Structure 1
Amino acid sequence: MVFFINLARLIFAPLVQPAASEFEVTAASLGVVTSAAWLGSASPRLPTGYLLTRYPRHYIAIATGMLLVCTSLFTAYSQSVVHLTAGAFLMGLSSGMYYISVNPLISELFPDRVGTALGVHGTAAQVAAVGAPLFVSAILVVGDWRTTFLLISGLAGASTLGLVVATRRTEMPEAGAADRSLVTAGKAQWRLVLTGVVFIGVTGFLWNGLFNLYGDYLDVAKGIDAGTGRLLLSLMFAAGIPAFLVTGRLADRVPNVPLIIGIISSFSLFVFVLTLVEGLVAVAVLSVLIGYAIHSLFPAMDTYMLSSLPDEHRGSAYALFSATMMLIQALGSGAVGTAVTRGFSYDRTFQTLSVLAGIVVTGMALCHRSGYLPTGGNPGNTPDGTVPASDD
């Protein structure tokens, strides 16, 4: 199920150029479409958090599959940029609802292996990310970009039926039964939620702007054709497959805050270097490094949050964190596209954002050293950072 859910919000990046050609607009101007998909993913997260205080998590997950079937059909028949933007937003809704309901469920199904379980789940999602550009390239050989959404609709329907069968055969945990108030969870866990938002907000903003417009960026700034650009985008996403598996396991074994700081520092540095290099080989190497770094951040952040939150706050507090950070990063591609259409170069824009990410993570590292950040997700420690008493 997660394969098609993730595909629904990532498929717009490789479709920007063919859709722009049909609607006779620039690819950069369609940054608003990719932003709409991510804004759609951000917008239902708080409402979904509320729904989780009333309904079991797997009910919501099943509903997201049904929603994806309908919204994909709507998008397939887009007749204008506005229609396509609305379709992207609606398809994004399904991913936002899915992750808010399923990630806490996974952490409760595997409480002793949160990072590892989230890493495996993320790997399945990442396979969709890797396949999206290749999928689009294959579809464009036999059809047009609209065919992509028709296929997503049909396959999402089949996977939703599979999820229904799986939930009926699995004993669902009751860990979230006491989670009944978004406000209560927010008040109790605000420091952890704010820390998570700051960590991933500016980083996700840069990443969203980079990958959604990567094909156009490579064409305009590096002289790399659209087909090769899609392959490099797939390479970037492919690097995320081992990143999810390795970092998910690592997050179960090492303190999460230093791990997250190291990942964000590496990512911002790699993006800055990308703007300086020339040549296909150098760009390919940087694509792999960037892809590995950013996809390492996601299981590390989710482990940090979900392993730290108590049962009575987990779903609601995670929804608050996820909704806020997604709203910030969803604006990335729209902001980058707007900057480029107003005369700023891609390279200068990405340099500015990578420096900003570096400044933020440096500040967070100083706060961590001073003891101001929650140390949740710290293996061997309790969520408040104290070492538990020995049983000896």
Structure 2
Amino acid sequence: MSDDGSLYGRGAVFASVCCFAYLVNFSRVGFAPLVDTFMDVFGVQPGTAGLVATMVWLGSALTRLPTGYLLTRVARRHAILGTGLLLVVAAGFTALAPTITVVAAGALLIGCATGVFYIAANPLVTELYPERVGWAVGIRGGSSQLAAVSAPLLVGALVLAFGWRGVFVGVAAVGVLLTAVFALTSRHATMPSAGVADRDLLGAVREQWRLVLTGIAVVGVTGFAWQGLFNFYIPYLTGRGFGDGTARTLLTVVFAAGVPAFFLSGRLADRVRRVPLVLVILAAFVCCLLALTAAEGVIAVAAVSAVLGYVIHSLFPTMDAFLLGTLPDDSRASAYSAYSAVMMLMQAPGSLAVGVLVEYGVSYGDVFRTYALVLAGVVTVLAALYVDGRLPTDAASIDRRE
């Protein structure tokens, strides 16, 4: 990036990407506080409502690998602009949905838009600030997390004022505005050229498969549990006797704790060894999940919710800093898209699994305790591989010209 205007240019682009990140994540996590609303409005069971929430995450997974290939042909800027257009159309389509089936289709389309965004935007922000990768992904992630924090209360307010359709009308309207803002800022900035050599998706995945597989093992399994937990957090707590307003507030606490987690963990990932940090975070999440099922009373559940929210949201910037900061320029976006696509496919059914199990008579508490035990096994295996020196900590160095 040239010196002339580079500081202003990359700052403006970074700020517009962060604003875009807020909207994109709001459009995803906004389905969680609507689960109860969909059950009431359409008269559906938890499994069906959980499927709707799953569809947005499935859509987010489906477009990630194709976007990785797309980025070997087009600039990240154009992919992000495409995200804005697709999100506007998808949100408008969902707002007009007459049945729960069409809502699910709209959720899939919204998810598709978000998948394009994350694969294009995450490498872009690290290339804007290559000297502070953890900081960059932390700020970008913190912007997304602000959406998660505001979603339960903002969605609730919009539903009261305009009905559930008003949520998606709002997403479409803001999407038009932010797409225009990003178009202007990116047009007048000198964009980074670090990824211009990334033109072989399959080659990049073959070279960096050990890093890709490590990321999938960590975030794919953990994300499966997290998806089921946060999408059914409100029904879980109301089923334990908490009021609806209290349950929504506690879900907000979970997401609010993620805001400092992104900022602080991103900075921490720039200063310590990232693999041990990831393992500590995973172990802490297992403990939090078990503690949540054991906690009694509003104060205890609120305290556990805050710690749980901080811990799980520390995982995402740490893993992104590890992968994006370790992968070389000529394979960063391609390898990251492969990791991201598979881990999202793994975690997307988390909500559906919880909904189906509950319909078959399994309690929420038993489901979440089982998830914790499975995750404990994953942490044990990963820790053993790390101690044995078999868990990758660096990118593969292969000269493709040979």
TM-score by length of 1: 0.95
Number of paired residues? Answer: 378
Tell me the CA shift for residue 177 of structure 1: 0.9
Given candidates 288, 298, 309, the residue that maps to 2:327 is 309
Q: One-letter code of the match for 2:45?
A: T
Q: One-letter code of the match for 1:201?
A: G
For 1:384 and 1:373, locate their aligned partners in 2 and report how far apart those are by CA, in whole Å.
Answer: 13
Tell me the CA shift for residue 158 of structure 1: 0.3
For 1:204 and 1:250, locate their aligned partners in 2 and report how far apart those are by CA, in whole Å.
Answer: 21
CA RMSD of aligned residues (A): 1.1
Tell me the CA shift for residue 384 of structure 1: 6.2
For 2:197 and 2:305, locate their aligned partners in 1 and report how far apart those are by CA, in whole Å.
Answer: 44
Given candidates 32, 44, 49, the residue that maps to 2:63 is 44
For the residue of structure 1 that corresponds to 2:392, the secondary structure is: coil
Contact 2:208/2:396 (8 A) holds in 1: no
Tell me the CA shift for residue 375 of structure 1: 1.1
What are the residue-to-residue correspondences of 1:116-131 with 2, within 5 Å?
116-131=135-150
Given candidates 147, 151, 155, the residue that maps to 2:174 is 155
Map Cα deviations across residues 133-155 of structure 1 (whole Å, 9 max, x no partner).
11112112212111110011001
Contact 2:68/2:337 (8 A) holds in 1: yes
Given candidates 138, 142, 146, the residue that maps to 2:165 is 146
Aligned to 1:92: 111
Q: One-letter code of the match for 1:287?
A: S
What are the residue-to-residue correspondences of 1:41-190 with 2, within 5 Å?
41-190=60-209
Contact 1:12/1:34 (8 A) holds in 2: yes
Given candidates 341, 345, 361, the residue that maps to 1:327 is 345
The more displaced of 302-311 and 222-231 is: 222-231
List runs of 5+ in structure 2 lacking aligned partners: 1-19, 398-402
Q: One-letter code of the match for 1:266?
A: A
Tell me the CA shift for residue 24 of structure 1: 1.1
For 1:354 and 1:71, locate their aligned partners in 2 and report how far apart those are by CA, in whole Å.
Answer: 35
Map Cα deviations across residues 338-372 of structure 1 (whole Å, 9 max, x no partner).
11111111000000011101110111011001000
Change (3 A) 1:384 1:182: closer
Contact 1:13/1:34 (8 A) holds in 2: yes
TM-score by length of 2: 0.92
For the residue of structure 2 that corresponds to 1:173, the secondary structure is: coil
Map Cα deviations across residues 60-92 of structure 1 (whole Å, 9 max, x no partner).
011101111000010011211111111111101
Contact 1:28/1:216 (8 A) holds in 2: no
Q: Please identify runs of 4+ aligned residues in structure 1 that moved more than 2 A.
A: 26-29
What are the residue-to-residue correspondences of 1:208-219 with 2, within 5 Å?
208-219=227-238
Tell me the CA shift for residue 281 of structure 1: 1.1
Is the aligned partner of 1:31 residue 2:50? yes
Given candidates 249, 257, 260, the residue that maps to 2:275 is 257
What are the residue-to-residue correspondences of 1:318-357 with 2, within 5 Å?
318-357=336-375
For the residue of structure 1 that corresponds to 2:326, the secondary structure is: coil
Change (3 A) 1:384 1:252: farther
Is the aligned partner of 1:228 residue 2:246? yes
Q: One-letter code of the match for 2:381?
A: G
